[in-house]
Each structure stands twice: as C-alpha cells, then as structure tokens.
Amino acid sequence: MQDAQHFDAIVIGGGPAGSTAARKMATLGLRTLVLERSRHPRYKACGGGVPARTVKLVGLSIEEAVEGEVSTIEVSHFGERSFRKHSAEPFAYMVMRDRFDALLLSAAAEAGAEVHEDEGARAIEVNATTVCVTTERGRYIAPYTIGADGATGPTGRWTGLGQTLPRSAAYELEIEAPAASLERWEATANVDVGYRPWGYGWVFPKAGRLSVGLVLSPGRGQSIRAETARYVERLGLRGASVSSAVGHPILYRRGTTTAIARGPVLLTGDAAGLADEFTAEGIAYAVHSGTLAAASVEAALGGAGQAAAQYQEAVDRSIQAELDAARAISRMYYRCVTLWPRLALWASRQVDYFWRAFFRVMRGEARYDSELKRWPLLRASTRVL
Ligand SMILES: Cc1cc2nc3c(=O)[nH]c(=O)nc-3n(C[C@H](O)[C@H](O)[C@H](O)COP(=O)(O)OP(=O)(O)OC[C@H]3O[C@@H](n4cnc5c(N)ncnc54)[C@H](O)[C@@H]3O)c2cc1C
C-alpha cells in the first residue's frame, strides 16, 4: 500500500451532508478529500421532496435536478376524509436523488475538493490530533474527519458517536403511474395519516412517475411492506409498474445528550440523526450540519477553539432546537389523528394557521421552534398531548 496522503479534512460519504461540508471547506481553501463508497449518480431511497428552505440552505441552483414543484398538499386518513391546502408559492421541489446528489458532489469537486468515488472507508484510527482513514486503495491522514456516511454508515459505530438513536423505517417505491394518476397528483403531494403511534404515507409527483412511500415510527418496521402495499392499493396504483422498492432507516437525535462530535471526528446529517420527526425529512439538516461542520473545522484549523465542541454547540443551538420542536408538533398531531381521527381531520382542515405555519417553515420563512412560540394554542397542545 502507498504512503498515507495528508489533507486538512477527510469527509466520509458524498451525500448532501458530505458534499456540502466538502464544498464549503474547499471554498475556504482547505485541502479536502471526499471518500464515497458508491459512484454517483447512485440511487438513494428517498421521496426526493426538497422543500424550498433546503434549496436556500444549499445555496446553488438545483434546477437541472428538479422534476417538478409542489404547491398543494392533500391530507387524507387512510385514503378518506381528504382535503387540500394551497401555498401561494411552491413549498417543495421534486428531485431524483441520484441526479441531485451527483450535482452536489460535482459542485464540491468544482470547488476544489478531491473526490474518490467507489472508495469506501474501511477503518478509522483516531489519535489525539489526527485521524487515519483506510480504504481498499489507500491511507489518508487529516486533523479532522467529517462522518457524513448516512444512517447506516460505519463512522458512528467506529467512534462511539451518535449511538442508540431511535430509528424509524421508511420504504419508497418509484411507480411508473398511468396518465390519470400523474394528472391527479400534478403539483400536489399526498400525506396519508392514521398510522399508530405515528407515521404517514406520501405521494410525491416526479416527471412521468410517482414516488410513493411510507414512514413508520421506531419499532413498526416489520409491517412496512404490507402497509405500503395497502396504501398503493388505496391510491388505485396496484398493478402499476414499480421501477424500484427500497427500505432504509431514518435516525432521530432527541435533545442534546447524544454526542455527535468528539476530538477530531464530527458526525453530520443522517449519521448524526438530524432528521425531522414531523415530516421525516433530513436533506435540509444534512446540508445545514455539513455547513456548520465545515465552519467549525476551518475555525479550529485557524486556531480558534475546538472543532468538536464548537460544532456540537452550533448544532444544538441552530438545528436541535428546531428538531425538538418538530418532534413536539409531531407527537401532538399524530396523536390527535390516531385517537380522534374524525375530529382531528376536521379540525386540521378548519385551522388554516396550522397550514400557513407549515408552508412558512417549508419555504424557509420560519422555523418550527419560532412558529411554536408564535402560536400559544399550538404550543399548549404540544405540552398537553
Ligand atoms: C425512504 C426515505 C424517504 C425520504 N424522503 C425524504 C424527502 O422526501 N425529503 C428529505 O428532505 N429527506 C428525506 N429522507 C431523508 C434523507 O434521505 C436523508 O436525511 C438524507 O439523505 C441525509 O443525507 P446524508 O448526506 O446525511 O446521508 P446520505 O444521503 O445517506 O449519504 C450518505 C453517503 O455516504 C456513503 N457511505 C456510506 N458508507 C460509506 C463508507 N463506509 N465510506 C464512504 N462512503 C460511505 C453512501 O454511499 C452515501 O452516498 C428520506 C429518507 C428515506 C429513508
């Protein structure tokens, strides 16, 4: 094996978290290596719903990866009692993750990061001031490593970070839907609720197909395929051609006690459990945490404090507060929907401010925690329920 190569930072994983961290660090002039075990464009199980707030955080044009936009949400309860709510402007863009992630990784390379695809991290050795990452092809040494290897990546296990996070199951189908279904869901997303204790089914419209899937709460993963099949049937899509069907966990960090950074290792995105328990989205938090990790590494290399402490503090302040508010809203909403479905669906149809607040959060004009502060009734119900 060749001698070890030296960098300022090594990023393990080239998804949205890793590509963003690498792009930011390379832009700041840091010698940055990305190790990605697959070759982009690669499939990633995901609804591909990119809220407008995520696009703002990305800070790049994602137009070439966008297959559609959504400004209407249709809420239903196991296919019944449905109603629609409209946002004046699109609140989310629909992408296929292979093209979206490839775009972000190319932007990292264009900014100057060295990108090694088809090269997964095999082992990591953490010393007092450096990390050595070994792959099948080489050894790489840097003062900092960013673990951006997703919900099933090894960096957390190897370092003891981000462990014991609750995980929900999610299952996604890409369906070549008939023309009538494509027309029905044009610019519209379905959110089908009622699963105990929480979870939802979704339809997201793409170019010529639909992403249909289900996310269920921790511990409910065994029934996810059967539940998804029932959902597909209710949508009238049984028998439609399915081009992929893949399940994948989503992890959730709750509160600030789980360590996600220590010494020279910083976990970002799904590896750190930074996903929202109301919508199960994670791309926004992957991008945001990648940005925060890059800033902390740059500051520490410049002699300003410790990267791990700065990063975790920044995540706790600017991301975790939002995730904890999303969890409170999620518990309140899904509990009402499962305990009193008729009343909850009727009330959520009537209470327009709930949807106005939701659209504001999705468009990046507000945050879950700021909306909770603004609406005493909503805040009170998250405490009571
Ligand atoms: C079914 C499903 C639907 C979802 N729908 C949405 C949605 O509509 N909108 C939304 O915002 N979020 C959604 N999410 C969540 C979203 O997919 C994640 O939050 C997001 O992908 C996190 O980005 P990441 O960069 O942290 O991790 P990932 O996107 O998982 O990227 C991790 C990368 O690390 C690489 N890797 C893994 N191990 C190694 C290794 N040893 N060495 C090198 N590389 C490695 C992987 O190949 C991968 O490219 C969904 C999740 C699921 C499971």
Q: Could you tell me the pLDDT band of residue 212, with boundaries at 50, 70 and 90?
A: very high
Task: Average the pLDDT over each of 67-76, 280-289, 343-352 and give the range with the smallest value.
Answer: 343-352
Give me ligand 1 centre to Cα 381, in Å: 32
pLDDT (0 to 100) of residue 29: 97
Sign of CA dihedral 384, 253, 14, 315: positive
Q: Could you tell me the pLDDT band of residue 247, with boundaries at 50, 70 and 90?
A: very high
Residue 312 burial (C-beta neighbours within 10 Å; 0-12, 13-18, 19+):
buried
Q: Could you tell me the pLDDT band of residue 1, with boundaries at 50, 70 and 90?
A: low
pLDDT (0 to 100) of residue 374: 79
Domain extent listing, the chain: 1-68+89-165+251-385, 69-88+166-250
385: pLDDT strictly greater than 70: no
Q: What is the pLDDT of residues 13-56, one digit of tens each?
A: 999 999 999 999 999 999 999 999 999 999 999 999 999 999 99
**What is the pTM for the complete model shown?**
0.96
CA geometry: angle 287, 167, 231, nearest 5 deg: 95
Residue 186 burial (C-beta neighbours within 10 Å; 0-12, 13-18, 19+):
exposed
Q: Identify the residues whose C-beta falls under 6 Å from ligand 1.
A: 12-18, 35-38, 44-49, 120-121, 148-150, 153-154, 170, 172, 213, 248, 250, 269-271, 275, 281-284, 286
Q: Could you tell me the pLDDT band of residue 384, with boundaries at 50, 70 and 90?
A: low
Q: Which CATH superfamily is domain 1-68+89-165+251-385 in?
A: FAD/NAD(P)-binding domain (3.50.50.60)
* Residue to substitute in 46, 56, 100 for testing ligand 1 pocket (most ligand atoms within 8 angstroms of CB): 46
Q: Which CATH superfamily is domain 69-88+166-250 in?
A: D-Amino Acid Oxidase, subunit A, domain 2 (3.30.9.10)
220: pLDDT strictly greater than 90: no
